Amino acid sequence: KQEVTQIPAALSVPEGENLVLNCSFTDSAIYNLQWFRQDPGKGLTSLLLIQSSQREQTSGRLNASLDKSSGRSTLYIAASQPGDSATYLCAPKGGRRALTFGSGTRLQVQP
Amino acid sequence: EPEVTQTPSHQVTQMGQEVILRCVPISNHLYFYWYRQILGQKVEFLVSFYNNEISEKSEIFDDQFSVERPDGSNFTLKIRSTKLEDSAMYFCASSLRTGEDQPQHFGDGTRLSIL
């Protein structure tokens, strides 16, 4: 059974900092991995999808990397802004269709 | 940009009552999903649906749950006899296909409160 761990659980940084969010998963047989953003009481916004054959994927100030063999993914956020404050979730997809979610990293960017 | 829409945004129901949560997936998508998130816990998979049948379900999705695509646009989750522990945020998602290049797109959720 896939287990997903996200470190750190919470992070508070001043505006402008570059930061890295970590995700590890126990079953490396995945098809892809999605990173989501969740604002309090809101839905899940897909940020990036990185396929199992890819090492990196970029969208604007976001860069996700994937090391499938070691069961790790990182989300890099460049030049953080207060509007980036949210919970970030990673979710690998295995051979079945379901996503397995981590508990998330709660990010606070201080102005 | 097309999006998944869910109604209602908040549903309050007495324990033991039936509840139906509604979703309109993105129009050309073929795969549909329900997930739930109990307050303070992880998002958990419930069920996936394709070609008018369940393709996968988790151990959470027991006999009190059912899903249906009653017409060409709606996708519903029914809970037959609600329990206090069914209180959660329920998310609907859809994807065009299930290939490794296909993201799942989520709605804003329905907050279900069982009294």
The reply to whether omega before A8 is within 30° of 0 (cis) is: yes
pLDDT tens digits for range A24-43: 999 999 989 999 999 988 88
Nearest Cα of chain A lies from the Cα of B61 at a distance, in angstroms, of 13
Alpha-carbon torsion (B71, B74, B77, B82), positive or negative: negative
pLDDT at A24: 97
Judged by CB atoms closer than 8 Å, whether chains meet at B91 and A44 is answered as yes
Say how far apart CA A40 and CA A28 lie, in whole Å. 30
The nearest alpha carbon in chain B to A94 belongs to B100
Question: Would an 8 Å CB–CB cutoff place A40 in contact with chain B?
Answer: no
pLDDT tens digits for range B17-45: 999 999 999 998 999 999 999 999 999 99
Question: Would an 8 Å CB–CB cutoff place B40 in contact with chain A?
Answer: no
pLDDT tens digits for range A51-69: 999 999 999 999 999 999 9
